[in-house]
Amino acid sequence: MFSLNDTMRYFLCPGRTDMRKGISSLCGLVHEKMKSEVRNGDVFIFVGASRKLMKLLHAEDGGMVMYVKTLGGRSFQTAGV
């Protein structure tokens, strides 16, 4: 079942991410840029250059889950990204 909660650790990927990337490519970014393991239960956050699209990557018992959030006229506020 899909679930995110406040007991999980959330990590923001540094820099801007190409939002055309799918689950496999984002897993690669977690390994390469963040030096972390995707399947450890943490949630990894990716933001595109326009800051209007955000993807969250999370491993669950049944496999990988990707959440996508798009903002209409606004943009996500990110510090230092």
Express the helix, strand and coil content of the chain in percent, nearest 5 each.
15, 30, 55
List, for residues 21-42, the tens digit of each pLDDT value: 999 999 999 999 999 999 998 9
In the predicted structure, residue 55 carries a pLDDT above the cut 70: yes
DSSP state of 6: T
Domain residue extents for the chain: 10-70
List, for residues 57-76, the tens digit of each pLDDT value: 999 988 999 999 888 776 66
Nearest to 36 by CA among 12, 19, 65, 7: 12
- Residue 15 makes CB contacts below 8 A (sequence gap 6+) with 33, 81
pLDDT band at 8 (very low <50, low <70, confident <90, very high): very high
Q: Could you give the C-alpha distances from 5 to 43, 62, 80, in angstroms and in order?
A: 10, 17, 25
pTM comes to: 0.85
